[in-house]
């Protein structure tokens, strides 16, 4: 099991848009290893013949008919928006990507 | 690194020294009635934020349910591209932060696409066929639309803030990813455009999408890399995002080949990144460093159960597939007797459907082709519209040709009638009738005109009687003029010959 170092924690925090202090990075780097160890104990009981599970209920092909349902009005859609403009959600400046 | 930092290498020179490899990702918006995971209508250009449900907005408590029709469309696409259809596959969350999706992830497929390992044959202008290998086709949802405010011409740079419309969020998409496309050499730009055109035509034939490039129904991401020769390892690629016309696709590939050759010549490394194509300059500029797949932290979507299309269902869909464009072109080529070149011109002009419908309405194939590829193509070009958008139906073209075939009108008058149809004056036969444009073959009318012409042109008459029969044309001209072009030229000729006693 690879160890989670400071760099990994900083990178994950960046990807998840979570701002961490240097102290927090140190602390989480230590804690991650014990979390990883705990998760790794699962592999002690899960042998080759136990299939990986991505869903607790063994169902497939739950489909919806292609029929239009009730929609929100623009007012309803924007009711919870911190800011709206021209019928659209107003969001802060987007930087770094196009 | 921007385009201005390096010297572009002349395209032909770049091709002489480097081997380009393409990779193309095509997104197609499916034409289902509703979205991928909720019952909001899948429509274009409604008022902002009206074609949405709580699920489109990812509101707390809302849950996605897969649109069965979208799955069927995806299988249709997979089968048409000669792919295997997964016995079971899952959706996955692709995590990224961008305001065009509210959930901070896109519901997509990752390690288990619905279709994989296929191929499609792409026909180039000169008839050469390139087989493009398909790696996978997977289902996902489209994102909302950002409008950037405060910057120059709606661009993100310099914008003070952005506005988001989620009408498009959740619209079903199928993304089709090729394997690296090698050995295209100097034809790489043409191959890229022809591949996307081939897919577009297939989508339309399958009726899974209107597939309008200009509306963004079909969007292509173009990967280009260079290597020293065809045996070398693949070079580092760049991915130019959302290139939305065939011409832009060609220009993107040309530019990237010249740019990357320039960087390699200067001893620089190609950076794996996304780039943006600029219509105005024909160049591309750097976007962001390409995220590694692990940056997206994909994991199976816990709110959806797997899709496991039964083999019976897949075979039923396969049996119901329409005749695909390449097969149809081959069949029509045989039926119509066009040359390969004529057929390619027809296909490239998007006139195949129109000609087929005109033939179905009773016209001969060559006559139908001449109208659509000749006079109508010219008018469409003058008016800067697609020929399909002209105000004339295939049935009207067939009717017009029927009048010519039945000697009711001649070719010259037919062109006038065509213009009148386009101007909304009615159907061809009705126009000929109401405007008295039918060929005049009534001898009493023609004889008067012939007598007049003979009287007016004694020198011509002398020549004809002296044995120069070809001079007869000099008499027919004034007669056609006197009858506004409507005289039956054959009958006029006979009458002149009788009158002058020649044969």
What band does B340 get if pLDDT is binned at 50, 70 and 90? confident
Q: What does the pLDDT average to over B172-200?
A: 97
Query: Per the CB < 8 Å rule, is B49 touching A90?
Result: no
Helix H or strand E encompassing B397? helix B394-405
Residue B178: closest CA among B136, B220, B219, B221: B136
pLDDT given at position A96? 52
B482 in a structural domain: yes
**Partner A contacted by B53 (CB < 8 A):** yes
**Where do we find the tokens 């005749």?**
B323
pLDDT at B153 over 70: no
What band does B144 get if pLDDT is binned at 50, 70 and 90? very high
Query: Per the CB < 8 Å rule, is A90 touching B69?
Result: no
pLDDT given at position B21? 98
pLDDT given at position B290? 65
- The structure tokens listed for B120 are 């499609």
Percent of residues in chain A assigned helix, strand, coil, to nearest 5: 40, 10, 50
> For position B493, which CATH number holds?
1.10.10.410
pLDDT digits (tens, 9 = 90+) for B286-316: 887 766 667 888 999 999 999 999 999 999 9
pLDDT given at position B46? 77
β-strands B284-289, B115-123 pairing: unpaired
Of B41, B65, B309, the CB nearest to A62: B65
From B289, B317, B345, the end of a domain falls on B317
Q: What is the ipTM of this complex?
A: 0.87
Query: Per the CB < 8 Å rule, is B49 touching A77?
Result: yes
Q: Which domain does B484 fall in, by range? A: 443-500
pTM of the model: 0.81
B453 in a structural domain: yes
β-strands B84-85, B115-123 pairing: antiparallel
How much of chain A exceeds pLDDT 90, in percent? 50
Chain A residue with CA closest to B46: the answer is A74
User: Which residues on neighbouring strands pair with residue B134, listed in sequence order?
Assistant: B118, B178
pLDDT given at position B183? 94
What sign does the dihedral B438-B443-B449-B454 (CA atoms) show?
Answer: positive
What band does B324 get if pLDDT is binned at 50, 70 and 90? very high
pLDDT given at position A97? 47
Cβ neighbours of residue B259 closer than 8 Å, sequence gap 6 or more: B3, B6, B8, B283, B284
Query: Per the CB < 8 Å rule, is A92 touching B68?
Result: no
pLDDT at B440 over 80: no
A27 in a structural domain: yes
B435 in a structural domain: no
Cβ neighbours of residue B383 closer than 8 Å, sequence gap 6 or more: B390
Backbone torsions φ then ψ of B24, nearest 5 degrees: -130, 135
Whether residues B348 and B304 share a domain: the answer is no
A77 in a structural domain: no
pLDDT at B143 over 80: yes
A28 in a structural domain: yes
Residue B491 or B143, more confident: B143
pLDDT digits (tens, 9 = 90+) for B463-486: 888 888 888 888 888 888 888 888
> For position A18, which CATH number holds?
1.10.20
A93 in a structural domain: no
pLDDT given at position B411? 86
**Partner A contacted by B309 (CB < 8 A):** yes
**Is residue B489 exposed (0-12), middle (13-18) or buried (19+ Cβ within 10 Å)?**
middle
pLDDT given at position B466? 84
Whether residues B452 and B492 share a domain: the answer is yes
pLDDT at B334 over 70: yes
B73 in a structural domain: yes
A83 in a structural domain: no
pLDDT given at position A2? 66
Chain A positions touching B40 (Cβ under 8 A) are 68-69, 71
From B371, B399, B426, the end of a domain falls on B426
pLDDT given at position A1? 54
Q: What does the pLDDT average to over B166-191?
A: 97
pLDDT at B61 over 90: yes
Percent of residues in chain B assigned helix, strand, coil, to nearest 5: 45, 20, 40
Whether residues B386 and B461 share a domain: the answer is no
Q: Which domain does A21 fall in, by range? A: 1-44
Residue B135 or A54, more confident: B135
pLDDT given at position A56? 81
Contact B117, B137 (CB under 8 A): no
pLDDT given at position A82? 93
What band does B2 get if pLDDT is binned at 50, 70 and 90? very low
Among A61, A73, A97, the strongest candidate for a mutation testing the B interface, having the largest count of B CBs within 10 A, is A61
What band does B437 get if pLDDT is binned at 50, 70 and 90? confident
Which of B16-25, B252-261, B343-352 bottoms out in mean pLDDT, i.e. has the lowest?
B343-352
Domain total in chain B: 3
pLDDT digits (tens, 9 = 90+) for A36-84: 888 888 888 887 888 777 788 889 999 999 999 999 999 999 999 999 9
Scanning B294-393, the segments in alpha helix (DSSP H) are 311-319, 325-336, 340-348, 352-360, 365-370, 376-383
Whether residues B152 and B198 share a domain: the answer is yes
pLDDT digits (tens, 9 = 90+) for B72-124: 999 999 999 999 999 999 999 999 888 999 999 999 999 999 999 999 999 99
What band does B3 get if pLDDT is binned at 50, 70 and 90? very low
B350 in a structural domain: yes
- Separation in Å, CA A76 to CA A80, B52, B167, B233, B339: 8, 10, 14, 55, 60
Chain A positions touching B53 (Cβ under 8 A) are 69-72
């Amino acid at each position: 099991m690879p160890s989670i170092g400071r760099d990994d924690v900083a990178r994950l925090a960046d990807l998840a848009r979570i701002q961490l202090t240097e102290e927090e990075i140190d602390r989480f780097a230590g804690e991650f290893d014990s979390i990883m160890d705990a998760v790794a104990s699962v592999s002690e009981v899960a042998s080759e013949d136990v299939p990986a599970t991505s869903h607790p209920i063994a169902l497939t092909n739950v489909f919806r008919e292609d029929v239009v349902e009730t929609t929100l009005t623009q007012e309803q859609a924007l009711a919870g928006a911190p800011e709206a403009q021209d019928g659209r959600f107003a969001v802060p400046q987007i930087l770094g990507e196009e | 690194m921007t385009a201005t930092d390096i010297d572009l290498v002349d395209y032909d020179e770049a091709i002489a020294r480097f081997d380009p490899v393409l990779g193309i990702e095509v997104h197609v918006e499916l034409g289902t009635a509703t979205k991928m995971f909720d019952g909001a209508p899948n429509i274009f250009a409604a008022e902002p934020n009206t074609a949405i449900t709580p699920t489109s907005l990812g509101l707390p408590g809302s849950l996605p349910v897969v649109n069965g029709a979208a799955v069927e469309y995806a299988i249709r696409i997979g089968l048409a591209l000669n792919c295997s259809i997964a016995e079971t596959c899952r959706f996955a969350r692709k995590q990224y932060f961008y305001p065009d999706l509210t959930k901070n992830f896109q519901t997509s497929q990752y390690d288990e696409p619905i279709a994989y390992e296929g191929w499609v044959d792409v026909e180039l202008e000169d008839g050469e066929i390139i087989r493009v290998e398909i790696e996978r086709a997977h289902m996902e949802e489209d994102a909302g639309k950002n409008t950037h405010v405060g910057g120059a011409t709606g661009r993100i740079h310099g914008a003070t803030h952005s506005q988001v419309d989620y009408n498009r969020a959740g619209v079903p998409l199928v993304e089709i990813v090729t394997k690296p496309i090698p050995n295209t050499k100097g034809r790489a730009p043409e191959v890229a455009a022809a591949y996307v055109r081939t897919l577009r035509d297939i989508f339309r034939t399958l009726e899974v999408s209107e597939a309008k490039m200009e509306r963004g129904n079909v969007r292509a991401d173009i990967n280009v890399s260079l290597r020293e020769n065809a045996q070398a390892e693949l070079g580092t690629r760049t991915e130019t995002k959302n290139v939305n016309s065939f011409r832009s696709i060609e220009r993107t590939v040309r530019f990237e080949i010249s740019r990357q050759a320039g960087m390699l010549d200067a001893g620089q490394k190609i950076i794996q990144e996304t780039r943006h194509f600029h219509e105005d300059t024909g160049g591309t500029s750097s976007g962001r460093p390409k995220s590694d797949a692990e940056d997206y932290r994909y994991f199976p979507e816990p709110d959806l159960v797997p899709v496991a299309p039964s083999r019976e269902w897949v075979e039923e869909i396969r049996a119901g597939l329409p005749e695909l464009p390449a097969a149809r072109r081959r069949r029509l080529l045989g039926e119509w007797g066009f040359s390969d070149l004529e057929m390619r011109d027809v296909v490239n002009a998007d006139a195949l459907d129109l000609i087929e419908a005109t033939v179905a309405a009773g016209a001969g194939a060559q006559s139908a082709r001449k109208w659509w590829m000749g006079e109508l193509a010219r008018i469409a070009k003058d008016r800067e519209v697609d020929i399909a958008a002209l105000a004339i139906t295939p049935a009207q073209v067939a009717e017009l040709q029927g009048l010519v075939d039945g000697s009711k009108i001649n070719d010259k008058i037919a062109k006038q009638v065509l213009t009148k149809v386009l101007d909304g004056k009615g159907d061809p036969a009705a126009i000929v009738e109401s405007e008295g444009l039918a060929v005049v073959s009534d001898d009493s009318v023609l004889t008067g005109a012939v007598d007049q012409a003979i009287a007016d042109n004694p020198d011509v008459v002398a020549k004809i009687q002296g044995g120069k029969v070809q001079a007869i044309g000099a008499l027919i001209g004034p007669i056609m003029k006197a009858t506004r072009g409507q005289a039956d030229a054959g009958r006029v000729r006979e009458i002149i010959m009788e009158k002058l006693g020649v044969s």
